Structure 1
Amino acid sequence: MTLQQRINAFAHVGDVFRAIVQQKEHPAKEVLLAQIDRATAANAWFTKENIYFCLEQWSQALTADNLTQWVKSYSLNNDSPQKVGIIMAGNIPLVGFHDLLAVVLSGNIALAKLSSNDQRLIPAVREILIGFDPASAEAIQIVQHKLTDFDAVIATGSNNTARYFEYYFKDKPSIIRKNRNAVAVLTGEETNADLKALGEDIFRYYGLGCRNVSKVYVPTGYNFNSLFESLYEWNSIINHHKYANNYDYNKAVYLMSQAKLLDNNFFLIKQDTALSSPIGVLFYEEYGDLNDVNEIITARQEEIQCVVSKAELPNALAFGEAQQPRLWDYADGVDTLAFLSTLPVNN
């Protein structure tokens, strides 16, 4: 496949995603629709609402213009394709798709090791690609057992599994990703619309994604009433049984330890210096001025995926944009295409 053929194939996938979310006809969409039903049955966290939200974001990204703009700065006409293992996480729908997209666009061969939590969606996308261009069958291979016979690897997991990955793949070119979370910086001058948009950053995917806001930095003496009121429109999240179980469990643990909590019956706010909060909990930390919080964020940048704020902070996103990354917004700030375009040729 030429680079243009690869771009056209993924733009076709974008067309299929768009047809699904807009409820329009497309001959290839039934393949994915059937697997969406199976994915929701297999993993209770993968609700149709969240899967459709994911498809909507990808449908906006996967256009020929966006894909062309993304790859134009790289040399990707690869005459010696390498086999790149992709060990995928399964915390949110299609979370490993960006890596697969990058590997195939770079002209390499993707060996996709799926998470047990997301066994349906990636194979359906592969089937759609093959239907459009049969050469995709060779470019994307699903690995059922142990990953072997590979030239490089992209692996995503927890901090614990990352140590295993670093040891196991020490002799191969690799990108190893660990736990990260998003944070928000509030100044107290946010509007009701700003805080409602922040709810999207906090609660989308039940807070399970690395781009979910798990902690807010607030000015000393911050009044949380406006935040509580603005986020109340997410109160139906407590009707999800797995989320509710986590909320109840974490609330019980904190109460037994006599931790001070703010509670509105569907999520908890707790003062804590940690960045990664449990499901149903939002951590907060007070700051004196923006220089202080900027220093904290800089010192902990290896733990932070992105920052949302209206304050003048480097690379801060607008409220509500954390779950809408562009193609060139790389996880952990590591340029995947640059890594893939400079892989040594395996002789």
Structure 2
Amino acid sequence: MTLTETKNAFIQLGKFLSQFALDANHKNPEVLHNEEFYDRFIALIALSRSHNGWYTEEQVCFSVNSWAEALAAENLDKWLDAYDLSDSGGKTVGLILAGNIPLVGFHDLLSVLVTGHTALVKTSSNDQHLLPFLAKYLIAVEPRMKERFIFAEGRLENFDAVIATGSNNTARYFEYYFKGKPSIIRKNRNSLAVLTGNETHEELVGLGEDIFRYFGLGCRNVSKLFVPKDYDFKGFFEAIYTYKDVIFYEKYANNYDYNKAVFLMSNFKLLDNEFLTLKEDNGYASPISSVFYEFYDDINEVRQRLEAEHEQIQCIVGNNVTANSIAFGQTQKPALWDYADNVDTITFLSKI
């Protein structure tokens, strides 16, 4: 298959995904293979929570809508036109995917296919249904895709390179097991926001989206705030009140109750609004339903620290506080060229 043919298959997938939304689905008669896939996908979205308790219809639909937008022809062209892929392809690339948020491994699969390789996919036990369904749709659109997917049941074998995503602990295992193969091994990372005290109410509402989307389970979710000395959190709490209904979801509420109890029993001082706790802590990885914060005197010292600790950080949110900072409310809307861990997947795959 040519790159153009592969892109066209994904463009059709994007059109298919654009039909689904939490408020109302909009069936488009011009979308290919709707008669076979449309109703089945609605049912799968509804069942996702039974497969993974964190995959509510709202969160799955958000992910689906994000990918529908990303797979527009102009986005694929803008992304891939920057590369020479004329000599790329022909290898089998193992993918060990995470399952913390819906379709979190889709970008790796897309990258393998547009670079002309075959994907040997090991899905997470937490996300075993969405990606295989989309693979079936791609095959219906372009039958030659059938030779480009292999979904592995057990240990990965017979591959030329690997992209594996996991925790810091599993990363050590991956690095040992795959030491003889070209690889990208992803470890734990967290995202943070640097506030100056001059943020608007709308920006802080956007920060709430960065915190609460996917219940805070993603590496692009903000789990740490840097705030100026004597920062007044009143405006922050007023803005994130928009997301108060998160506490009505049982799994989130259980984490809130548990983590708050652990903090209080340890005599930690907390700021609390009954659905989120803020704890002063110099770490980055806060538990679900909590965000760490740290005061600073000099924002230049914060910049120096973030540069020194960049391997722990996925996203930095703020008003141009660093060269690569992201606007408020945008962490869960990455473009195709926003690579996890800032590792250019296409360059890696084009050179194996």
Partner of 1:255: 264
Q: Are 1:338 and 2:340 an aligned pair? A: no
Q: Which of the residues 177, 190, 202 maps onto 2:211?
A: 202
SS of the counterpart of 1:150? Answer: coil
Deviations 1:181-213 (A, max 9, x none): 110000001111110010000000000001000
Partner of 1:23: 25
Partner of 1:51: 60
Partner of 1:281: 290
Q: Which of the residues 165, 177, 181 maps onto 1:168?
A: 177
TM-score with structure 1 length normalisation?
A: 0.97
Partner of 1:10: 10
SS of the counterpart of 2:256? Answer: helix
Tell whether the 8 Å contact from 2:191 to 2:222 is kept in structure 1 after alignment. Answer: yes
Q: CA deviation at 1:167?
A: 0.4
Partners in 2 of 1:291 and 1:101 — Cα distance?
38
Identity within the alignment, %? 52
Partner of 1:215: 224
Tell whether the 8 Å contact from 2:88 to 2:351 is kept in structure 1 after alignment. Answer: no
Q: Which of the residues 97, 116, 119 maps onto 1:88?
A: 97
Tell whether the 8 Å contact from 1:185 to 1:311 is kept in structure 2 after alignment. Answer: no
| 1:149-164 → structure 2 map (5 Å cutoff) | 149-164=158-173
Tell whether the 8 Å contact from 2:204 to 2:328 is kept in structure 1 after alignment. Answer: yes
Tell whether the 8 Å contact from 1:111 to 1:141 is kept in structure 2 after alignment. Answer: yes
Partner of 1:103: 112
Partners in 1 of 2:351 and 2:239 — Cα distance?
47
Partners in 2 of 1:205 and 1:114 — Cα distance?
19
Structure 1: gaps of 5 or more residues: none
Deviations 1:152-172 (A, max 9, x none): 000000000000000000000
Count of residues in Structure 1 that have an aligned counterpart in Structure 2: 343
Q: CA deviation at 1:23?
A: 2.0
Partners in 2 of 1:295 and 1:31 — Cα distance?
50
Partners in 2 of 1:82 and 1:32 — Cα distance?
31
Partners in 2 of 1:48 and 1:248 — Cα distance?
24
Q: CA deviation at 1:35?
A: 2.2
Structure 2: gaps of 5 or more residues: none
Partners in 1 of 2:47 and 2:145 — Cα distance?
23
Deviations 1:205-256 (A, max 9, x none): 0000010000000001111111011101111101111111111111111111
Deviations 1:299-335 (A, max 9, x none): 1100100111014321111100011100000000000
| 1:92-131 → structure 2 map (5 Å cutoff) | 92-131=101-140
Give the counterpart letter for 2:271 in structure 1: L
Q: Are 1:179 and 2:184 an aligned pair? A: no
Partner of 1:42: 51
Partner of 2:143: 134
Partners in 1 of 2:246 and 2:41 — Cα distance?
26
Partners in 2 of 1:243 and 1:102 — Cα distance?
33
Partners in 1 of 2:89 and 2:59 — Cα distance?
38
Give the counterpart letter for 1:328 in structure 2: W
TM-score with structure 2 length normalisation?
A: 0.95
Partners in 1 of 2:145 and 2:85 — Cα distance?
16
